[in-house]
Every structure is written in C-alpha cells, then in structure tokens.
Homo-oligomer: A and B are copies of this chain.
Amino acid sequence: MGWKTIYSVKARKSFRPEREMQGNMEEQVTREDILIEALPYIRNFYGSTIVIKVGGNALVEPDIMDAIARDVVLLHYVGIHPVVVHGGGQEITQKMRQLGKEPEFIAGLRVTDAETLEITRMVLVGNINQRIVSMICKHGGKAVSLSGNDGMLITARKQVPQKVMVEGVEHQVDLGFVGETEVVNNEILKTITDKGFIPVISPIAVDVNGEHLNLNADTVASDMAASLGAKKLILLTDVKGVMEDPSDPGTTIHRLTLAEAEQLMDTDTIKTGMQPKMKACINALHAGVEKAHIIDGRRKHALLLELFTDYGIGTMIEREKSEI
C-alpha cells in the first residue's frame, strides 16, 4: 500500500531514490490536512446510525450511484452504521410502458392497481435494490437487500382514500395498493447491522391479509431512522434543497429548526414534490432523530461533503437551533 502510484509507474533500480516524488510531496501536504480535518466529524458520528434515502437521478445514472455506493462503504469503515432506502419512480414508469401499461396519475399521485403493484415490486426489489447491493459489495461493503416483507420489517395497512383537489373539486381517491407503515419490527435490521452488513431497503410491505403494498420511500426512510434511533436522516434528491423560490436554486434555505419547518409546510414554498420529504424529516425529528437533511444527490460525494467537512450543503432541519 501507500506505494502504489509511484512504484507502479516505473521499476525501482539498485537503491536509487525516486527524486520525482519530492515534487508531489509538496502537493501532498494538503492531503493529510484534509484527512485530519475529518477527525472531529468521524469521532462525532462514530457508532451512530445514519439512514440515507436514495432517489431520483442517482438511481438512473450509474456513475452517481457508484459514487454513493463508495461513500456508503466509507461510512461503514469509519464506524458509522449506514442504512440505505431507495425509491425508483422513473424506472417503474419506464418498465410499465415497456409492458404496455400506461401509468395513471391523479393529482400527481400514481394509481397502483394489482398489475402496477407487481411491476413496482419487480423493479424495486428485483432490479434497483439488486443493483445497489452489488455496487456496494464491489467497493468492499457487505450489502444485503431487504424489503418491508423480510423478517416482517414493516407491517403496513392500505392507505385510506385521499382527498385530492382536481381542477378545484375535491375528490376521494383510492390509490390502490398503496400502504402506510403500521408496525416496524427492526429485529432483522439489528441482526445484520450488528454483524457489519449494510441493509438496502425497498419500500414494499405486506398487510395483515397478506397483500403486498407499495410505500413512499421517503416515509420508509423516516420510519427506519425513527425505529433505529438514527443520528441523521439524509434524503438525496434532484434539487439543491428546500428553496424559497423552487425555481431558483439561489434561494436554497440552509438551516431550519423543526418549528420553522412545520410552519413552512403550510406555505407555497413547499410544493407537491417536496411535501412528503419535509413530512418525512419532520416525523423523524419528532421521533428523536437529531438532524434531517435534504441535499442534492446529483453532486458526487455529496454525503462525504455533508458529513466530513466544514461545508454543509442543501437544507438541514434540526430539532432546536444548535450552536454547531
């Protein structure tokens, strides 16, 4: 180790020093400094659980997912217990169309009939989760795929029909096989994280009648964070964070207290897409999670930047204003 770059370039001869290294050395000085700068953060997170929700583009661009997988493995090696939850809406829509089934949305929410549910489950559990697991394994982590069904991790109930405004008229909409978490039984999670495995969780669960249900991945991430007493919940999204003007990344809000976040929920700032994410963060904080983050997952190594450097990114919501 430690010699790779230098010595793989050219063979070492009869005890002659590599003078070329001197130059590199100067540049190197900052490298150690950056590592040692991470120490207080590493120490702070040591032994704690961090739940990471991966969604959006990260799932369709292999490069980004690969970088996230590497970050997750690094978290593991510096003593953090990472738990990954994933979504997958884009790929589900694509696979449905491939199967000749046009997705139906009411007020932006997907209607999930039996056929849609099966496709959803196949894509989430059979495609996306398996790919993430293999990526993490490739970088040296021991990932294990789970859904809410495994070891009865999540027992859900069918969502009651939602009130939805369509063209100014309120409708009762039954979205079909869509569920809400009823009971989280984290025995399987604890069993595998205790042995250093990294769980990757698909948002599928079962109800008391044995029907499979599709859950919202942000909510599942929030539930896992609450159940495990996680220190942080991090939602990787396709936007800069919560923005005052959702169309202007320059208006990203960097810090919110729980109270401020709750106030904001009723305003126009929080649009449809951001609402379940905000709700997930708020619930996790109420359940004892220290901080929740909504950050831009398209940025490579956003996790490391957020966790191990003096620079924070995106929006952080904390229970009370901390000194930091």
Interface residues of A (CB under 8 A from B): 1-8, 12, 15, 17-19, 21, 24-25, 28, 30-46, 67, 70-71, 73-74, 77-79, 98-99, 118, 121-127, 129-130, 133-135, 137-140, 142-147, 149-152, 187-188, 191-192, 195, 197, 204, 206, 210, 212, 244, 250-255, 291, 300-301, 304-313, 316, 324
Partner of A123, one of B17, B126, B204: B126
Also in contact, A2 and B41, with CB within 8 A (given A7-B324, A192-B191, A212-B130): yes
Also in contact, A137 and B149, with CB within 8 A (given A24-B311, A35-B301, A197-B188): yes
Give CA–CA (A140, B306) in the complex, Å. 21
Count chain B CB atoms within 10 A of each CB in A143, A149, A291, A324 and give the residue with the most.
A149
Of all chain B residues, the one with the shortest Cβ separation from A141 is B43
Give CA–CA (A151, B192) in the complex, Å. 10
Also in contact, A309 and B31, with CB within 8 A (given A78-B77, A146-B144): yes
Q: List 29 A-B contacts (CB under 8 A).
A: A2-B306, A2-B310, A2-B311, A3-B254, A3-B316, A5-B310, A7-B312, A15-B244, A17-B254, A21-B254, A28-B309, A31-B34, A31-B304, A31-B311, A32-B305, A35-B38, A35-B74, A35-B304, A38-B74, A134-B210, A135-B210, A137-B206, A142-B151, A144-B146, A144-B151, A145-B147, A187-B195, A191-B195, A191-B197
Of all chain B residues, the one with the shortest Cβ separation from A243 is B17
Give CA–CA (A316, B210) in the complex, Å. 34
Q: A152: which B residues are within 8 A, CB to CB?
A: 137, 142
Contact indicator B139/A39 (Cβ below 8 Å): yes
Contact indicator A253/B79 (Cβ below 8 Å): no
Contact indicator B133/A122 (Cβ below 8 Å): no
Of all chain B residues, the one with the shortest Cβ separation from A5 is B310
Q: A38: which B residues are within 8 A, CB to CB?
A: 35, 74
- Would you call the interface of chain A mostly helix, strand, loop, or mixed? helix
Partner of A78, one of B41, B79, B151, B311: B79
| Chain B nearest CB, measured from A188 CB (Å) | 6
| Chain B nearest CB, measured from A82 CB (Å) | 13
Q: A307: which B residues are within 8 A, CB to CB?
A: 1-2
Q: A25: which B residues are within 8 A, CB to CB?
A: 311, 313
Contact indicator B130/A149 (Cβ below 8 Å): yes
Contact indicator B28/A188 (Cβ below 8 Å): no
Give CA–CA (A206, B139) in the complex, Å. 14
| Chain B nearest CB, measured from A31 CB (Å) | 5
Also in contact, A32 and B300, with CB within 8 A (given A78-B78, A307-B2): yes
Count chain B CB atoms within 10 A of each CB in A8, A32, A78, A204 and give the residue with the most.
A32
| Chain B nearest CB, measured from A32 CB (Å) | 3
Partner of A28, one of B74, B135, B204, B311: B311
Contact indicator A143/B133 (Cβ below 8 Å): no
Contact indicator A74/B39 (Cβ below 8 Å): yes
Give CA–CA (A46, B73) in the complex, Å. 12
| Chain B nearest CB, measured from A252 CB (Å) | 5
| Chain B nearest CB, measured from A2 CB (Å) | 4
